[in-house]
């Protein structure tokens, strides 16, 4: 095993929150916070009292980690989240959450560990269910033998609509750090790839700010939004995310068993371990002709 991969593996194991670790389950628990259940780090009963979180700060969300390959199917991890206009899922551009499906990596030891990742994710869903509910959605697609799980970009559509969304003149360390980012990360320069997304972006430019996907290349550089698609789709990455469970009751005209347990994995950070592997079928040598011969098919070999 290459030293670089061994170091990544050992670091993830040491975190206690690596989904490929059998001991992972001892370190987390579900906690009801607000209207949802959130996966948190299990409090350490041996820790001194002053090490416990204050009631104001609340428990720490568990930032789970896994090494996965970002699937080419169900891929919407782009600057505009693939927005094509209002829908039942995303009624407006500001509500879009860029997402991707995560599947089996083809790199050891993570390839072998993915069996444990699969078991742990299913276990996490099974211990946070609502009595009588039979439907589960969001994290793992139902009715499929090809296991993969879905994760979403934290923040709505990569934008923040908090009161300090508009540029502040206060000279803070946070603002200074943001100023260091390339101009492409500013909302006035943000990318949109069709008329619906461009229109939606224009409507929120004065009320929102960009929250870029924290995706880094193999050298540790933040990936340019223009490169999200070609850099991330098909890449093997170190994925860090949090997990939330929502319980939605059935409609009045439905039986109670039609309620849905929904699980969302919110991306915290992505780091590329291996870039996408492309295998284009281009020939090594090609003859360029000035005129087209209708009697000569492109698949025929020239014997001239």
Neighbour count for residue 187 (Cβ, 10 Å): 20
DSSP 71-99: -STT---STTTT--S--SS-SSGGG---E
Q: What is the pLDDT of residue 221?
A: 92
Tell me the domain boundaries of the chain: 3-274
Torsion over CA: 164, 166, 169, 174 (sign): positive
Average pLDDT in the chain: 80
pLDDT of residue 236: 96
Mean pLDDT of 61-82: 91
Cα–Cα distances (Å) from 145 to 106, 140, 148, in that order, read 18, 11, 9
Out of 50-54, 101-105, 166-170, 279-283, least confident range = 166-170
pLDDT (mean) for 193-209: 86
**What's the predicted TM-score (pTM) here?**
0.78
Closest to 39 in 3D by CA, of 64, 14, 70, 56: 64
Terminus-to-terminus CA distance in the chain, angstroms?
Answer: 50
User: Are 148 and 99 in contact, with CB atoms under 8 Å apart?
Assistant: no
pLDDT per residue as tens digits for the range 250-296: 888 777 778 888 999 999 999 999 999 865 554 555 555 566 666 66
What lies within 8 Å, CB to CB, of 116 at 6+ separation is: 19, 20, 21, 22, 24
Radius of gyration of the chain (CA): 23
CA–CA distances in Å: residue 193 to residues 94, 242, 244: 15, 29, 30
CA angle 78, 84, 86 (to 5 degrees): 120
Q: According to the model, what pLDDT value does residue 179 have? A: 44
Q: How far apart are CA 151 and CA 133, in angstroms?
A: 23
Q: Where are the alpha helices (DSSP H) in the chain?
A: 3-15, 110-126, 173-179, 195-204, 228-232
pLDDT in tens, 98-146: 889 999 999 999 999 999 999 999 999 989 988 888 788 888 876 566 7
């Amino acid at each position: 095993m290459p030293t670089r991969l061994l170091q990544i593996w050992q670091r993830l194991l040491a975190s206690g929150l690596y989904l490929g670790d059998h001991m992972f389950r001892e370190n987390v628990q579900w906690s009801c916070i607000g209207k949802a259940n959130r996966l948190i780090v299990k409090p350490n009963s041996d820790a001194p009292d002053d090490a416990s979180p204050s009631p104001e700060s609340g428990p720490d969300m568990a930032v789970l980690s896994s090494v996965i390959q970002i699937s080419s199917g169900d891929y919407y991890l782009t600057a505009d989240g693939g927005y094509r206009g209002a829908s039942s899922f995303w009624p407006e551009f500001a509500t879009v959450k860029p997402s991707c499906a995560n599947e089996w990596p083809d790199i050891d030891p993570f390839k072998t560990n993915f069996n444990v990742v699969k078991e742990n994710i299913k276990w996490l869903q099974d211990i946070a269910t609502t009595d009588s509910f039979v439907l589960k959605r969001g994290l793992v697609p139902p009715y499929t033998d090809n296991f993969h799980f879905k994760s979403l970009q934290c923040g709505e559509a990569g934008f923040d609509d908090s009161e300090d969304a508009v540029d502040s003149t206060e000279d803070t360390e946070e603002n200074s750090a943001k100023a260091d980012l390339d101009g492409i990360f500013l909302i006035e320069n943000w990318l949109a790839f069709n008329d619906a997304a461009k229109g939606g972006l224009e409507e929120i430019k004065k009320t929102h700010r960009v929250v870029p996907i924290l995706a880094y290349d193999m050298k540790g550089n933040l990936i340019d939004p223009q490169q999200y698609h070609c850099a991330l789709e098909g890449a093997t990455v170190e994925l860090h995310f949090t997990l939330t469970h929502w319980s939605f009751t059935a409609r009045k005209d439905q039986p109670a068993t039609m309620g849905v347990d929904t699980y969302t994995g919110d991306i915290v950070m992505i780091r590329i371990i291996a870039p996408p592997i492309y295998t284009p079928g281009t020939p090594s040598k090609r003859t360029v002709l000035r005129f087209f011969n209708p009697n000569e098919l492109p698949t025929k070999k020239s014997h001239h």
